[in-house]
């Protein structure tokens, strides 16, 4: 996975709402225009993150060497997020902005412009193979034999075929608000991808703030060891489940990389999109019910950022259970004190909830992943 330093590339993102933009311009006009680092009374690097997962990654890596602000609150979703004037003020004072990339944050370009941010942008998705992510997106998240040489070859072939493809979704029948292109942006749901994202963030923080580089590297290495242990534990749990029984339906198409890594077939989602605010048609619902019956799906899972009402209706029609009392953490981590407060906690929670619904045995969590 690439660990090269990130240069400030413009992000393909949408316009900010007029009211927030006007407020932000007032706030940014009060700034002297110098860098945030020069104006700070602290020697800590001021870091702003977009998603809750990135906030956790940055905290794990940065520790007390950074002053951290997360734009999205627990339970929030980047798919329909509008930054407040306070968010934009924090961004304008920051040294570093960490984004997911892969087309997720449709608010960032306008927020950067409105806030006057002039620091460095770290794009965490540059820490993974986006050609492979595009291939996984295209294949539908179904169970696969993980021969990495074959996967790399398939990804290269797919990227070459799509070099000049038109990914304009303006004529999509669902008329979604945002265009994520050809890559499902929920890359963090795979702990293996999370390792690449963490490596990317740590490498760039060390480059930007060399005085604390050893601390960033040491904390990142410890966290990467935990992510590796997390991946190994999850793999062991799913290996006990027969391949034919590893079939999942979710609220929206948010777990594709997690499913791919652990050989779980994706039978469809309630919302016909990467987003959690799309609207399914009657035909979409009928097709999903048919897929549930065809694949022998036993449960429909709901993400924490979604209402469970439609999932309950579909589950009733298909004659299966709906798992909504303990929702999955996909778009966002959970509130403080919840199972999903951290990335590792959320991923452990998701794994246990899925396996419990399938009636599978689950091993105790290793001590290295506790707390």
Q: Nearest CA to 355 among 367, 344, 364?
A: 364
SS3 279: coil
Share of the chain above pLDDT 90, in %: 65
- Who has greater pLDDT, 97 or 304? 97
- Who has greater pLDDT, 307 or 18? 307
HSE-CB for 226 with a 13 A CA cutoff: 23
Task: Dump pLDDT digits (tens) for 233-289.
Answer: 999 999 999 999 999 999 889 999 999 999 999 999 988 766 655 678 899 999 999
Q: What does residue 336 show for φ and ψ, rounded to 5 degrees?
A: -55, 135
**Spacing of C-alpha 363 from chain mean position:** 26
Whether residue 26 has pLDDT greater than 90:
no
SS3 129: coil
- Who has greater pLDDT, 94 or 151? 94
Given a contact cutoff of 8 angstroms between Cβ atoms, the answer to whether 368 and 341 are in contact is: no
Cα separation of 272 and 176, whole Å?
Answer: 10
Residue 18: predicted pLDDT? 42
How big is the chain, counted in residues?
371
Confidence class of residue 324 from pLDDT cuts 50, 70 and 90? confident
Average the pLDDT over each of 2-16, 62-76, 117-131, 268-282 and give the range with the smallest value: 2-16
Residue 306: predicted pLDDT? 80
Given a contact cutoff of 8 angstroms between Cβ atoms, the answer to whether 349 and 340 are in contact is: yes
Confidence class of residue 182 from pLDDT cuts 50, 70 and 90? confident
- Who has greater pLDDT, 138 or 166? 138
Q: Nearest CA to 285 among 304, 265, 312?
A: 312
- Residue 328: partners with Cβ closer than 8 Å, 6 or more residues away: 250, 251, 255, 301, 302, 303, 304, 349, 350, 353, 354
Domains and CATH numbers, the chain: 241-369 (3.40.50.1980)
Cα separation of 370 and 349, whole Å?
Answer: 12
Q: What are the structure tokens assigned to 173, written together?
A: 């029948």
Whether residue 186 has pLDDT greater than 60:
yes
Average pLDDT along the chain? 81
Residue 278: predicted pLDDT? 64
């Amino acid at each position: 996975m690439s660990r090269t330093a990130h240069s400030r590339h413009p992000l393909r993102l949408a316009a900010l709402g007029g009211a927030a933009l006007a407020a932000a311009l007032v706030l940014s006009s009060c700034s002297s225009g110098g860098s945030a680092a020069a104006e700070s009374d602290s020697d800590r690097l001021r870091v702003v993150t977009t998603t809750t997962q990135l906030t956790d990654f940055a905290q794990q890596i940065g520790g007390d060497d950074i002053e951290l602000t997360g734009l999205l609150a627990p339970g929030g979703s980047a798919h329909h997020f509008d930054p407040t004037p306070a968010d934009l003020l924090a961004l304008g004072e920051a040294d570093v902005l960490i984004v997911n990339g892969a087309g997720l944050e449709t608010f960032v370009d306008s927020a950067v412009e409105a806030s006057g941010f002039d620091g460095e942008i770290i794009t965490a998705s540059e820490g993974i193979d986006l050609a492979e992510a595009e291939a996984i997106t295209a294949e539908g998240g179904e169970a696969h034999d993980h021969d990495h040489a074959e996967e790399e070859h398939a990804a290269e072939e797919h990227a070459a075929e799509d070099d000049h493809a038109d990914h304009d979704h303006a004529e999509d029948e669902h008329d979604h608000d945002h265009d994520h292109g050809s890559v499902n942006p929920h890359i963090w749901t795979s702990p293996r991808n999370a390792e690449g994202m963490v490596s990317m963030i740590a490498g760039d923080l060390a480059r930007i703030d060399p005085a604390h580089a050893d601390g960033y590297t040491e904390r990142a290495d410890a966290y990467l060891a935990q992510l590796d242990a997390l991946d190994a534990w999850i793999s062991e749990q799913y290996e006990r489940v027969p391949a034919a029984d590893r079939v999942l339906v979710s609220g929206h198409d948010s777990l594709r990389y997690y499913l791919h890594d652990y050989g779980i077939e994706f039978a469809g989602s309630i919302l016909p999109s990467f987003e959690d605010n799309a609207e399914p048609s009657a035909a979409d619902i009928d097709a999903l019910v048919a897929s549930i019956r065809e694949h022998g799906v036993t449960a429909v899972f709901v993400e924490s950022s979604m209402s469970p009402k439609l999932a309950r209706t579909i589950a009733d029609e298909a004659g299966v259970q709906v798992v909504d009392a303990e929702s999955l953490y996909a778009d966002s981590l959970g509130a403080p004190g919840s199972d999903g407060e951290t990335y590792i906690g959320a991923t452990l929670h998701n794994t246990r909830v899925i396996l419990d619904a399938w009636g599978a045995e689950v091993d105790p969590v290793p001590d290295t992943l506790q707390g």
